[in-house]
């Protein structure tokens, strides 16, 4: 753990980074939909903005993870921690919730209090089922990412160790 002091601006930088990152992906998604709809011009507008959001996000990261402090090995450690959180906590919990909500929705299907049409209820159930499946699949992918980063970190650590030996030899 870092001993970063509790400074509001760091939290704001994290939030700004998250916002710019989400905007980037959202605009790329909108561009994809616009292109699929045959509107190339709108797709390009979204993509041009999306590219700028990436640079904004890089700017925030530059302050959150100062390059002069960040060796490749440290970057790998941060990445491993992130992926490990995703596959051990985030996706398993998300999946659990989707399954539970899917079961609850199925159980209350006959409940007259639910004003939704049958069609809407079916769509809702399908969304929950799909989400549960995706969370499970992604947990496995993130686990592989974490493993891949760990393997590479071992390589980098060994390489840097050897380089250090050469320097001191």
Please give the size of the binding site for another protein, defined by CB under 8 A: 10
Of the two residues 60 and 146, which places its CB atom closer to another protein in the complex? 146
Place of tokens 């507008």: 45
DSSP state of 61: H
Computed on alpha carbons and rounded to an integer, the radius of gyration of the chain in Å comes to 22
Stretch that binds another protein, among 7-15, 64-72, 105-113, 129-137 (CB under 8 A): 129-137
What is d(CA 55, CA 10) in angstroms, rounded to the nearest whole number?
18
Hey, what's the torsion of the CAs at 40, 45, 48, 53, to 10 degrees?
-130
Which residues, 6+ apart, have CB-to-CB distance to 82 below 8 Å?
Answer: none
Selected binder of another protein within 26, 130, 155, 159 (CB under 8 A): 130
Of the two residues 44 and 140, which places its CB atom closer to another protein in the complex? 140
Q: Do 93 and 132 meet the contact criterion of CB atoms below 8 Å apart?
A: no
- Smallest distance from another protein to CB 88, Å: 17
Of the two residues 64 and 143, which places its CB atom closer to another protein in the complex? 143
- Smallest distance from another protein to CB 95, Å: 12
Contact footprint for another protein (CB under 8 A): 130, 133-134, 136-138, 140-141, 144-145
């Amino acid at each position: 753990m870092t001993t970063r002091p509790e400074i509001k601006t760091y939290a704001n930088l994290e939030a700004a980074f998250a916002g710019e990152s989400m905007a980037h992906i959202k605009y790329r998604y909108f561009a994809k939909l616009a292109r699929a709809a045959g509107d190339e011009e709108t797709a390009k507008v979204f993509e041009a903005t999306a590219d700028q959001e990436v640079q904004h996000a890089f700017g925030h990261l530059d302050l959150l993870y100062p390059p002069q402090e960040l060796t490749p090995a440290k970057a790998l450690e941060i990445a491993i921690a992130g992926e490990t959180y995703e596959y051990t906590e985030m996706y398993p919990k998300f999946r659990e919730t989707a399954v539970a909500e899917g079961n609850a929705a199925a159980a209350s299907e006959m409940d007259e209090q639910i004003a939704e049409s049958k069609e809407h209820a079916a769509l809702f159930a399908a969304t929950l089922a799909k989400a549960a499946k995706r969370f499970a699949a992604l947990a496995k992918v993130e686990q592989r990412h974490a493993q891949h980063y760990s393997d590479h970190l071992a390589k980098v650590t060994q390489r840097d160790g050897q380089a250090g030996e050469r320097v001191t030899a």
